Amino acid sequence: MNGKPKGKKVNKAWLHDHLNDPYVKLANREGYRARAAYKLKEIDEVFGLIKPGQLVVDLGSAPGAWSQYVRRKMSPAGAAAGALQGTIVALDLLPMEPIEGVTFLQGDFREDDVLERLALAVGDRLADVVISDMAPNLSGIGSADAARVEHLIELAIDFARHHMKPEGALVAKLFHGSGYDHLAAMFRSNFRIAKPFKPKASRDRSTETFMVGIGLRAAETN
């Protein structure tokens, strides 16, 4: 037998779970583009990271749910439109539908032209908070996937080191499994406070978790 029926069964089961997911229903009701908004909401409620008046940079922002949450948190009335106290800059390789008050830059933040556009968007300010929901396309090959995740974490930390205030915070997604301990150690070596956190909005079967790093450690010199 070929695997076609099995695939259809899996897709149907996923679709059923997705449509009945309470966070999907809540996102639809509250106008968020993805259930991921509630992951950042939980992280923020525990660690108290995002405040009006800040500069927040959202890496890997598409489709925009995290930027939507930040935008509402920086609104005096928690609204999705209208007054905004703060600056939000979102970056992604993929296109993203506009969000009122959010500056979106499409491109690779490792490239000079994207960094130049970022500099124009923020002026001489450094970010108070950097949030990264970036994740690679996983292949199912443990060693290859671990290397891809590690690369994205390294990029996020390097970005924070160059574009974030010393007392700022970085939130980044990683996955339990091969390489997790190394990535957690990387956070501890770069931040004075480094805490793992798995939001309730993360699906139980998902291996994703988030690391919160607060306060950059001084760069080591040889």
Residues identified as active-site: 173
CA angle at 213 for the pair 208 and 217, rounded to the nearest 5° = 145
**Do you find a cis peptide bond into 166, omega within 30 degrees of 0?**
no
- Enumerate residues 6+ apart whose C-beta is below 8 A from 217: 189, 190, 191, 192
Residue type, 164: M
Q: Does residue 167 come out as left (phi exceeding 0), alpha (psi in the -120 to 50 range) or beta?
A: alpha
Separation of alpha carbons 211 and 132, rounded Å:
10
Calculate the alpha carbon distances from 115 to 36, 119, 204 in Å.
Answer: 26, 6, 37
> Order of strands, edge to edge, in the sheet holding 55-59?
102-106, 87-92, 55-59, 127-132, 164-175, 208-216, 191-197
Separation of alpha carbons 3 and 7, rounded Å:
6
Both tokens of residue 180? 């997790």
